[in-house]
Chains A and B, each alone.
Chain A
Amino acid sequence: MTALLQARGLVRCYAGQKSLFTKPSLVRAVDGVDLTLNPGETLGIVGESGSGKSTLGRMLLGIDAPTEGQVLFDGQPMPALHSAPWRALRAQMQFVYQDPLAALDRRLTIARQIGEPLEIHGLATGAELAERVAELMAQVGLRQDQGARYPHELSGGQRQRVIIARALATSPRLLVCDEPVSALDVSIQAQVVNLLRDLQERHGIAMVFISHDLKVVRNICDRVAVMYLGRIVEEASSDQIFAQPEHPYTQALVSSVPVPGKRLQGRILLKGEPPNPAQRPAGCAFHPRCAAALQICAQSVPPLQPTAPARRAACHLLDASHAGQAA
């Protein structure tokens, strides 16, 4: 099976503080990421704010150009940003936003907006368009009479359903969801996550699900990649990562997820400053906050390497040659 989406050595730099007298410092928001996504698969990307997960998501979708590296969709390199082939490719891949109100035009009815991708890509017109919009609205659980409403007349959850319906309009093969539920009430979050999972399973869409919230990711993803300061530190199947996290950072994250019926035990509290991409520590970026850090951690960057079948992690502790020092 060929991969639907492949990322090779993705790097994204932003210019930091700039002035006439000092050279602009480059902030590497994403710093060398390799990823593969198979058709119909769901990949979760987890990390704190500032870990570069949203930037990575935008590059995977092709709406931000990587500074270095390449994204292959269907084995083909991503066309140049905003070119005609790039626009045509949008029908195949869609985005679900964190803030649905900001992503909707407040002057158009939601039916018009759900149908817009079909108009743009010339997929349906007239009665066919109306029919398809009605179908999409039914799929995401919106009432037909809500089609004549404007975005501000709907609730947060309903708006996110509109975004999802619009994203599904062209029957895309890839959906990137950037924190799709973090702006919603907790009671609504589960509904939207379940809706996304149902739709993903029914249509066999591949999905990248970006979140800072492990609970949500666990609920929906086949595979999870954990990011820290622009790099993937661990990648494994969802079950493995929750049962047996390998990287100390993942362990800390997993330990903070409450499990129903149990007291939170052995919770690892991270010390030190939250990560700042402008000031990346030398060596392993996580070492200043890591309880088990070795000498080598401050000196060299641990490579992301296989630790088991379909499993990767980047930590010196997992390397047999250093394991002795840990004791």
Chain B
Amino acid sequence: MLNYFVTRLFRAVLTILLVMTFAFVVLRLSGDPASILLGPDAPTDSIAAFRARWGLDDPLWKQYLAYLKSIAQLDFGVSMRDRSPAIDLVLERVPATLALTVPTLLIQLGVGIPAGVYAALHRESVADRGVIMLSIFGFTIPSFVMGLVLVLVFAVTLGWLPSGGQDSWQHAILPIATMSVGGIGILARFSRSAMIEVMGQPYIRTAMAKGLSWRDVVWKHALPNASVPIVTIVGFMVGSLIAGAVVVESIFSWPGIGRLLIVSVSNRDLAVVQCLLLVIASAMVIANLCVDFAYGLLDPRLRAKAAAH
């Protein structure tokens, strides 16, 4: 098992390194990093200082090492717009994004999984068909359409909720609702199929045949086994959550990192984009790592492997 964790950890580090390299290569390909990171109208002496500090006249491999070193010191360059360090701009936006994504994830898990499991245990019922219908809808409606329709209904027509901004907790309701829908659909669908697959296994039939109560069969045999594929899907969902935040923050003018990304991309504020890229990639890698570890702990086959060593 140690082996498994070490491999995962190694791959995670490698991936982050790869993302950094990607950012480095793309940055060099797109032009002179001095004028890009400092802006076209930066004074010549600060450009010269920048070139000297980043060693832009050195061979590429040296530049690469210097680049890695500055990133290790959390130095991502300065924003073109207000000359403040990119990392500060990004970090001050993180809480706002978490305020949307964390409740969203909790709602997705709290609604999606029970709905899927319920549907699987009551196949062919009205509830089952309803869950299927809703999950298809969740999958096919793009989040920007969902968001706009919610604004149209609840903010414009009914006037119950604000349509944008971040002044009170009511402002968070529509964005969270918009982001939750798709994930609930995906989770419900996966939990349902994972559960159905598990319920068809011979050991479940055995458990029922030996007279275990329905409740025990579901809680002690079916759910633990179905949890393994579901956990894998949660890893994928963290990614779609971040992507969803970009769209939703943009619709609801929510000042999180998603909106910062859109603004920075439109202004070609590359120091900030690069910093965001690395922060998001790190968050994703850490989330995937957690999923992998949870997976390792949940799957007895991996545990057994560890014991064999």
Contacts and interface: CB of A to CB of B under 8 A. Distances in A.
Interface in B61-107: none
A19 interface: yes
Interface string A20-42: 11000000000000000000000
Interface in A160-216: none
A247 to B, nearest CB: 39
A20 B5 CA distance: 13
A21 B309 CA distance: 8
A307 to B, nearest CB: 46
Interface residues of A, number: 3
Interface string B1-23: 00100000000000000000000
Nearest to B308: A19
B304 to A, nearest CB: 13
Contacts of A20: 3
B96 to A, nearest CB: 44
Contacts of A21: 309
A21 B3 CA distance: 9
Contacts of B309: 19, 21
Interface in B284-309: 309
Contacts of B3: 19-20
A20 B1 CA distance: 11
Interface in B29-71: none
B21 to A, nearest CB: 27
A182 B39 CA distance: 77
Nearest to B2: A20
Nearest to A21: B309
A8 B105 CA distance: 66
Nearest to B6: A20
Interface in A5-23: 19-21
Interface string B221-260: 0000000000000000000000000000000000000000
A21 B6 CA distance: 13
A246 B268 CA distance: 87
A65 to B, nearest CB: 30
Nearest to A22: B309
A20 B2 CA distance: 10
A19 B309 CA distance: 8
Nearest to A19: B309
A319 to B, nearest CB: 44
A19 B4 CA distance: 11
A19 B3 CA distance: 9
A252 B248 CA distance: 78
A20 B3 CA distance: 7
B257 to A, nearest CB: 39
B207 to A, nearest CB: 33
Nearest to B3: A20
A21 to B, nearest CB: 6
Contacts of A19: 3, 309
B5 to A, nearest CB: 12
B74 to A, nearest CB: 34
A20 to B, nearest CB: 5
A75 B3 CA distance: 49
4 contacts: A19-B3, A19-B309, A20-B3, A21-B309
Among all A-B residue pairs, the 4 with the closest Cβ atoms: A20-B3, A21-B309, A19-B309, A19-B3
